[in-house]
Structure 1
């Protein structure tokens, strides 16, 4: 995610008893003001286009205000689509497993997800057996990610497979290039995974709501620099996720690609998998 944003942010407290303390803590951690209103309808017209972090009984969410704003964006690992994909998503037969080498029996790599976002792909990779470190440099997106993992941990006592997956996940809030440059040869990961944001399409109604909000929040991506550094740090391969018909990143042709209906994985092999 990008280092900066021009979008104004406020931290909102919905009228739920008991959440004022947590909202205040987040306000201090993220250096964001509290929005002292009870609901979106109470926000002044001058504030209607801003993004707001909302703390309520469902956890933390990011929401754009205004009459035509998309719904809230929340990080979820234990329920809904994440749970369904974990249980019925195809396992090692998925393209993401083939691209990262996790389709190979016994290969359990140390894997860096350098563009973690809401952690969906990183969670899938951990569910397939990888030890995953998710790097997210935008502190607001990182707060959503940490909240989702925390809520998943609360449910893991009743779901041992979920608990095992969560034990394979580590998170870091840092610029990914800076993180890579601190690694020694002994600390380099087996596989590096990149899912850079693609520029917004002209038909914005077709863009997922979280992408609409993320483009406002984090601004343009700088994945070209990230790919170059990744290729110098990964042991076995770098994998870049792209829209199916998008150009290759920075014009650098991969060794090979796996192409689905809407998504393509470009694989940059560095040496043969063990």
Structure 2
């Protein structure tokens, strides 16, 4: 159960905030709508508690002077530089074959956006109602963006626990080409030290830790890997470069980068 949250909204976005409030209520998230004059750095400093904010740029998560949203428009420069050859994730997930792909740990959806842009048909699965609502807003805005709109038909959002969703896929004998896992919470290296992330990602993690404290160490994705292997011909796991293997399972192949790697698990008998 998500704790009640403030929903701060500037005057020009009050109607939109009321719509978000109704959507969140339908997902058992209680919010108190508060009208404010400006959503600026000073306001955020004086309201350090975890909250939701709405301005003309849409829905944000805020806390401790920071704010965050899945900003898909900000990813456009990266998309324009990306190619099937240059992106390690594209090689790991065989995006050149335009696969059906489940991102079972959707997060902010940036990797899924890239894979959809490069040709994959991606289903993003997210169980947290606030994070899912943020993703919905990101996709809604992308549909109206001249550059991103043409790729949105390749992105499908599912509001469900990934473990349950994959179980249902397995029970219904629904197969996909690729399942992608990028566990959200800090990974440990072989010496059991928490791996540090770059500054921008660290800020995102701080806010997501406040939003998802009930998940903690249980949300590392270990339980998802064996289940994913029953459904997909290829499971790809994104890891920090020196992190331990997910579920302590040795991958069949790896793609190594400077900061991260992709571990792949193949199913020969699909």
| TM class by smaller structure | 0.7 to 0.9
CA gap 1:205/1:265 in 2 versus in 1, 3 angstroms: closer
Deviation by residue 1:210-239 (Cα, 9 ceiling, x = unmatched): 1111112113114111112111111x2100
Deviation by residue 1:128-186 (Cα, 9 ceiling, x = unmatched): 1111100011111111110000001012xx34xx3331111111010001001111464
Deviation at 1:205, TM superposition (A): 8.5
Within-5 A mapping of 1:1-274? 9-16=5-12, 18-19=14-15, 20-30=17-27, 31-36=29-34, 38=36, 48-64=47-63, 66=64, 69-70=65-66, 72-77=67-72, 79-80=73-74, 82-103=75-96, 107-155=97-145, 158-159=146-147, 162-183=148-169, 184=171, 186-199=173-186, 201=194, 206=199, 207-219=201-213, 220=216, 221-234=219-232, 236-271=233-268
CA gap 1:204/1:97 in 2 versus in 1, 3 angstroms: closer
| Equivalent residues of 1:92, 1:102 under 8 A apart | no
CA distance in 2, matches of 1:229, 1:203: 28
Q: Tell me: higher relative CO, structure 1 or 2? Use CA pairs within 8 A at least 6 residues apart.
A: 1
| Equivalent residues of 2:83, 2:118 under 8 A apart | no
Using the size of structure 1 for normalisation, the TM-score is 0.82
CA gap 1:145/1:252 in 2 versus in 1, 3 angstroms: same
| Equivalent residues of 1:114, 1:176 under 8 A apart | yes
| Equivalent residues of 2:101, 2:120 under 8 A apart | yes
The number of equivalent residue pairs is 253
| Equivalent residues of 1:52, 1:62 under 8 A apart | yes
| Equivalent residues of 1:11, 1:27 under 8 A apart | no
CA gap 1:138/1:17 in 2 versus in 1, 3 angstroms: closer
CA distance in 1, matches of 2:100, 2:85: 17
The structure 1 segments of at least 4 consecutive aligned residues displaced by more than 4 Å after TM superposition are 39-45, 200-205
- Secondary structure of 1:250's aligned partner: helix
CA gap 1:149/1:134 in 2 versus in 1, 3 angstroms: same
- Secondary structure of 1:93's aligned partner: coil
| Equivalent residues of 2:120, 2:154 under 8 A apart | yes
The RMSD of aligned alpha carbons is 2.7
| Equivalent residues of 1:11, 1:23 under 8 A apart | no
